[in-house]
């Protein structure tokens, strides 16, 4: 005889109802029943329970003109339930409070000394800007720590070549110890951006890749609609995929890594070298490579600066080479390019496409759409909150000190 655990069924159904309301704000009980294929009575009782727990609010009758009684609209409780998101980058810490409907309520940014920061300092920031800001009876559903790094679920270590942390760090366990009563999730930044793009831009393709081009380069892959290998999205280290086995040595140990050839610093170095060797008249010729950013180069391209145009073409050629290899391995339907790299604009995009078509596995490459990300600079923190709500939030238990990696 199979024993069915009623508690698990209830949690699953509550979560389905809650997630559907989150994805379709204003949905009625009748529509919910239709979409979840649960009976109207079951839906009503689950919705009542979610309202009683303050996860959901009844927004009253809708304005749609219809004959007879107008259905009541349901929303997740954006005013009383929150997620705290800590966006940790090379520049500092951004603490953001996000309502469960994914609206940003409050945020603060603090820079820190990259060489001498301490875990206590970070905990204080979180305490001051997130924990103490959740007033009265309001509920903090969870805390997400977003890092531009790989998070190893086995050793519970953060491995990063972008933020300054020690190799054998204990950041995960120390933060968990400090916030022991709150569920804490550690998430990779590219995974959060990718999830925001998938949800908020309504991506229909079930196999897609999000490539984040910043100082470093990262990628998150979705296969059959789900993160490839876990919600922290770290199935690959795409930035350390080699595109030149004789290339320069990377700090990861490999040679000719993508990140060395395509990231923002790489573009600066290329421009500097090209200006020195071939284009001394370039508008970028006397700018130190460190100050040459994606948008600086884009402005020069708009001015028809030959040095900038050549540098962008070279980066596009290398990026296309890497993307074509990714296509041969995973055969995605869509590739989205995000991060500051998107500032390189139309010329960069057209060069990438041209190079992809001239070198790749033609049949596969022809079937891939390539475009820039549509979500804005808040995508990372909103994506983190949404991953937490969809993948980790447990409704039937009081929030306890779970750790999600």
Nearest distance in Å: CB 162, Zn ion: 12
The burial class, CB within 10 Å (0-12 / 13-18 / 19+), for 252 is middle
Most distant CA pair in the chain, distance: 82
- Residue (162 or 250) nearer to Zn ion, CB: 250
Measured between alpha carbons, how far is 243 from 318 in angstroms, rounded to an integer?
7
- Residue (22 or 218) nearer to Zn ion, CB: 218
Nearest distance in Å: CB 223, Zn ion: 24
Measured between alpha carbons, how far is 21 from 28 in angstroms, rounded to an integer?
9
Q: Give the residue among 98, 126, 130 at the shortest CA–CA distance from 112.
A: 126
- Residue (257 or 337) nearer to Zn ion, CB: 257
Nearest distance in Å: CB 166, Zn ion: 19
| Residues ≥6 apart with Cβ < 8 Å to 95 | 84, 85, 86, 87, 107, 108, 109, 110, 125, 126, 129, 130
- Residue (51 or 252) nearer to Zn ion, CB: 252
Nearest distance in Å: CB 283, Zn ion: 31
Nearest distance in Å: CB 256, Zn ion: 9
- Residue (142 or 339) nearer to Zn ion, CB: 339
Nearest distance in Å: CB 348, Zn ion: 22
- Residue (216 or 233) nearer to Zn ion, CB: 216
Q: Give the residue among 338, 341, 328 at the shortest CA–CA distance from 367.
A: 328
Nearest distance in Å: CB 267, Zn ion: 17
- Residue (218 or 233) nearer to Zn ion, CB: 218
Nearest distance in Å: CB 158, Zn ion: 17
Which residues are at the interface with Zn ion (CB under 5 A)? 240, 250, 252, 254, 257
Both structure tokens of 251: 């700090």
Nearest distance in Å: CB 262, Zn ion: 12
Length of the chain: 405
Distances (CA, A) of 151 to 71, 148, 234, 405: 45, 9, 8, 7
Count of alpha carbons within 13 Å of 1, Cβ hemisphere only? 3
Backbone angle region of 222, left / alpha / beta, with phi > 0 → left and psi within -120 to 50 → alpha = beta
- Residue (23 or 254) nearer to Zn ion, CB: 254
- Strand boundaries in 32-138, DSSP class E: 56-61, 72-76, 81-88, 92-99, 104-111
Q: Give the residue among 219, 212, 122, 217 at the shortest CA–CA distance from 164.
A: 122
- Residue (64 or 329) nearer to Zn ion, CB: 329
- Residue (130 or 257) nearer to Zn ion, CB: 257
Nearest distance in Å: CB 240, Zn ion: 3
Parallel, antiparallel or unpaired: strands 403-404 and 184-188: parallel
Measured between alpha carbons, how far is 385 from 246 in angstroms, rounded to an integer?
41
Sign of CA dihedral 233, 237, 243, 247: positive
Look at the block and give the residue holding tokens 């004959």.
Answer: 67
Cα angle 82, 165, 336 (rounded to 5 degrees) comes to 60
Element (H, E) at 335: strand 334-338
Nearest distance in Å: CB 216, Zn ion: 9
- Residue (165 or 252) nearer to Zn ion, CB: 252
């Amino acid at each position: 005889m199979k024993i069915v655990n009623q508690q698990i069924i209830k949690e699953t159904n509550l979560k389905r109802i809650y997630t559907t309301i989150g994805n379709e704000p204003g949905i009625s009980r009748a529509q919910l029943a239709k979409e979840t294929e649960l009976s109207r009575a079951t839906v009503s009782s689950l919705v009542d329970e979610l309202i009683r727990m303050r996860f959901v609010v009844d927004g009253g009758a809708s304005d749609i003109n219809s004959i007879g009684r107008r259905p009541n609209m349901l929303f997740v409780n954006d005013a009383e339930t929150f997620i705290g998101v800590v966006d940790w980058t090379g520049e500092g810490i951004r603490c953001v409070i996000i309502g469960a409907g994914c609206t940003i309520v409050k945020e603060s940014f603090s820079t820190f000394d990259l060489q001498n920061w301490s875990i206590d300092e970070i905990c204080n920031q979180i305490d001051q800007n997130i924990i103490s800001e959740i007033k009265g009876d309001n509920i903090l559903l969870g805390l997400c720590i977003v890092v531009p790094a790989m998070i190893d679920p086995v050793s519970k270590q953060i491995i990063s070549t972008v933020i300054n942390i020690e190799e054998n760090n204990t950041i995960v366990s120390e933060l968990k110890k400090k916030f022991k009563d709150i569920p804490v999730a550690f998430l990779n930044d590219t995974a959060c951006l990718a999830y925001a793009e998938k949800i908020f831009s309504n991506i229909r393709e079930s196999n897609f890749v999000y490539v984040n081009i910043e100082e470093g380069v990262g990628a998150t892959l979705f296969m059959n609609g789900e993160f490839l290998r876990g919600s922290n999205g770290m199935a690959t280290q795409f930035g350390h995929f080699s595109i030149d086995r004789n290339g320069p040595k990377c700090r990861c140990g490999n040679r000719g890594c993508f990140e060395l050839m395509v990231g923002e610093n790489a573009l600066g170095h290329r421009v500097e070298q090209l200006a020195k060797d071939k284009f001394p008249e370039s508008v970028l010729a006397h700018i130190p490579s460190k100050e040459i950013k994606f948008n600086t180069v884009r402005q020069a391209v708009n001015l028809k600066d030959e040095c900038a145009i050549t540098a962008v073409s070279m980066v596009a050629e290398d990026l296309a080479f890497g993307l074509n290899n990714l296509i041969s391995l995973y055969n995605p339907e869509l590739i989205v390019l995000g991060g500051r790299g998107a500032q390189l604009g139309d010329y960069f995009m057209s060069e990438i496409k041209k190079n992809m078509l001239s070198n790749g596995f033609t049949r596969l490459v022809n079937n891939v759409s390539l475009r820039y990300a549509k979500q804005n600079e808040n995508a990372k923190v909103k994506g983190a909150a949404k991953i937490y709500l969809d993948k980790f939030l447990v409704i039937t238990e009081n929030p306890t000190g779970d750790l999600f990696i």
